[in-house]
């Protein structure tokens, strides 16, 4: 039986692993389908303290993993399919096999929010993507006009990154002001290759008949005027949805799907703790996720010690 099982391998998961490993609890980290989490798909992280020149997202996560493993954390490249939290030890189904856990730290993070358009889904990986760092350099996007949807830090980061490859990047935002942090917004709007398209939503992605993205249909939400824009790619960066499906019947979630802790990192199930983007709908930063991972680890350690 495991002392501590950590579900998720983003900033929260690895930090929880580091702390519980140093507490001699011999934790196991179940990585999920994206080892390292969403941060591995971003380019430069400039706001993680300790890296004055910035650090590549993938490198940061690899360093966190190595640091946790150095103190004895074990990594299992596996996905949790089901959880039974009705009694202790908790029982997890992990890639078809059962695993027992005395405590559980849920750090499952979040996935990309989709626009919800039928053709967005049909043209996924045929020009529609949710990750500029993963796909931006593909030949199909080189020297082509590209569309980024969204107005937050992610959209700004994606748009800036894509200027390396695109002829023009159109930043389609539903309001006339970016939500992104001031420094990101200013940098984005100052980039001559980025053209903001304000007060506008994407209503369709073209062209399913050609089996690739050739453009988008747009609607100005103030004037209701419809238009079309040619592009070879649509990069959707409109926020995230917490990865909490597994827990929706066993823990309390808010209306957006974020887990509701009872106090600190604790949940209504004694022995189950939460950390990172699956619980945090307010800050959602790498550093806050890491801090929450630390808190969850300390609480798990105290919980086990009290027993
Ligand atoms: P976000 O801050 O929630 O922004 C989402 C953007 O998408 C908003 O501009 C929103 O419009 C728009 N949007 C949401 N749903 C939409 C829809 N259905 N159709 C069209 N537009 C829609 O998400 P994020 O940019 O992914 O950032 C998430 C968190 O990560 C934030 O806390 C951010 O600071 C952080 N982050 C930080 C960095 C960095 O510092 N390097 C990089 C990336 C992300 P409205 O503005 O109208 O709501």
What are the tens digits of pLDDT across the range 82-116? Answer: 999 999 999 999 999 999 999 999 999 999 999 99
Q: Bridge-partner residues for 75, per DSSP?
A: 29
The predicted structure's pLDDT at residue 223: 98
Percentage above 90 pLDDT, the chain: 93
* pLDDT at 8 (0 to 100): 98
Whether 134 is catalytic: yes
For ligand 1, say whether the CB of 175 is within 6 Å of any of its atoms: yes
Boundaries of every domain in the chain: 2-111+240-306, 114-236
Say if ligand 1 is within 6 A of residue 240 CB: yes
> Which residue out of 151, 277, 281 has the highest number of ligand 1 atoms within 8 Å of its CB and is therefore the one to mutate?
151
CA of 189 to the centre of ligand 1 (A): 16
Instruction: Say if CB 25 and CB 299 are below 8 A apart.
Output: no
Q: Is 131 a catalytic residue?
A: yes
CB 238 near ligand 1, within 6 Å: yes
Q: Is 230 noted as a catalytic residue in this protein? A: no
Higher pLDDT, 282 or 201: 201
Written as six digits, the tokens of 75 are 């990594």
Q: Which of 84, 134, 230, 254 is catalytic?
A: 134
Q: Is the CB of 152 under 6 A from ligand 1?
A: yes
For the stretch 51-58, contacts whose Cβ atoms lie closer than 8 Å and that sit 24 or more positions apart, written own/partner, are: 57/133
Q: Per-residue DSSP letters for the chain? A: -EEEEEE--SHHHHHHHHHHHHTT---EEE--SSTT-GGGGSSEE--STT-TT-EEHHHHHHHHHHHHHHTT-EEE---EEEEE-SSSSEEEEETTEEEEEEEEEE---EEEPP---HHHHHTBTTTEES-HHHHTTSGGGTTSEEEEE-SSHHHHHHHHHHTTT-SEEEEE-SSSS--S-HHHHHHHHH-TTEEEETTEEEEEEE-GGGTS--EEEEEETTT--EEEEE-SEEEE-S-EEE--GGGTTTS-B-TTS-B--SBTTB-SSTTEEE-GGGT-SS---HHHHHHHHHHHHHHHHHHHHH-
Residues 79-91 as b/e (b if ≥16 CB within 10 A, e otherwise) read ebeebebeebbbb
Tokens of 47: 């706001």
Distance CA 303, CA 306 (A): 5
Strand pairing class (55-56; 145-149): unpaired
pTM: 0.85
Q: Kindly give the distance from the C-alpha atom of residue 56 to the centroid of ligand 1, in angstroms, as a whole number.
A: 20
CA triplet 123, 149, 256: central angle to 5 degrees?
A: 90
* Contacts of 66 by beta carbon, 8 Å cutoff, 6+ apart: none
pLDDT digits (tens, 9 = 90+) for 67-78: 999 999 999 999
Extract the tokens encoding 155: 């959209």
pLDDT of residue 187: 97
For ligand 1, whether the C-beta of 150 sits within 6 Å is yes
Residue 229's pLDDT is what?
98
Of the candidates 108, 79, 109, 104, the residue with the CA atom closest to the CA atom of residue 20: 104
Cα–Cα dist 111/278, whole Å: 10
Q: How far does residue 115's CA lie from ligand 1's centre (Å)?
A: 13
Q: What pLDDT, on a 0 to 100 scale, did the predictor assign at position 114?
A: 96
Residue 174 in contact with ligand 1 by CB distance below 6 A: yes
For 114-236, CATH gives: 3.50.50.60
Cα–Cα distance for residue pair 177/108, rounded to 1 Å: 31
Closest by CA position to 182, among listed 54, 292, 47: 47
What is the pLDDT of the chain when averaged over all its residues? 96
- The pLDDT assigned to 54 comes to 93
CATH of the domain spanning 2-111+240-306: 3.50.50.60
């Amino acid at each position: 039986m495991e002392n501590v099982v950590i579900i998720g391998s983003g900033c929260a998961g690895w930090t929880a692993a580091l702390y519980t490993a140093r507490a001699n609890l011999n934790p196991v980290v179940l990585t999920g389908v994206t080892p390292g989490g969403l941060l591995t798909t971003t380019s430069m992280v400039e706001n993680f303290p300790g890296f004055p020149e910035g650090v590549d997202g993938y490198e940061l996560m690899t360093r966190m993993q190595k640091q946790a493993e150095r103190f004895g954390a074990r990594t299992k490249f596996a996905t949790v399919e089901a959880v039974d939290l009705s009694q202790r030890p908790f029982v997890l189904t992990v890639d078809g096999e059962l695993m027992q856990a005395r405590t559980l730290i849920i750090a499952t993070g979040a996935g990309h929010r989709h626009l919800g358009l039928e053709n967005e889904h049909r043209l996924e990986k045929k020009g529609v993507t949710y990750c500029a760092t993963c796909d931006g350099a593909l030949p199909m996007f080189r020297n082509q006009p590209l569309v980024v949807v969204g107005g937050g830090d992610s959209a700004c980061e994606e748009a800036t990154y894509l200027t390396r490859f695109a002829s023009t990047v159109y930043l389609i935002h539903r309001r006339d002001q970016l939500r992104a942090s001031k420094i990101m917004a200013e940098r984005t709007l100052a980039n001559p290759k980025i053209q903001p398209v304000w007060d506008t939503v994407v209503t369709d992605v073209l062209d399913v008949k050609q089996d690739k993205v050739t453009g988008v249909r747009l609607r100005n939400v103030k004037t209701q005027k419809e238009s079309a824009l040619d592009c070879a790619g649509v990069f959707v960066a409109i926020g995230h949805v917490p990865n909490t499906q597994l827990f929706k019947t066993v823990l309390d979630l808010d209306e957006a799907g974020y887990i509701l802790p009872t106090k600190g990192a604790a949940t209504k199930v004694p022995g189950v703790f939460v950390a990172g983007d699956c619980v945090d709908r307010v800050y959602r930063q790498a550093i806050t996720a890491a801090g929450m991972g630390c808190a969850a680890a300390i609480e798990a350690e105290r919980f086990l010690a009290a027993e």
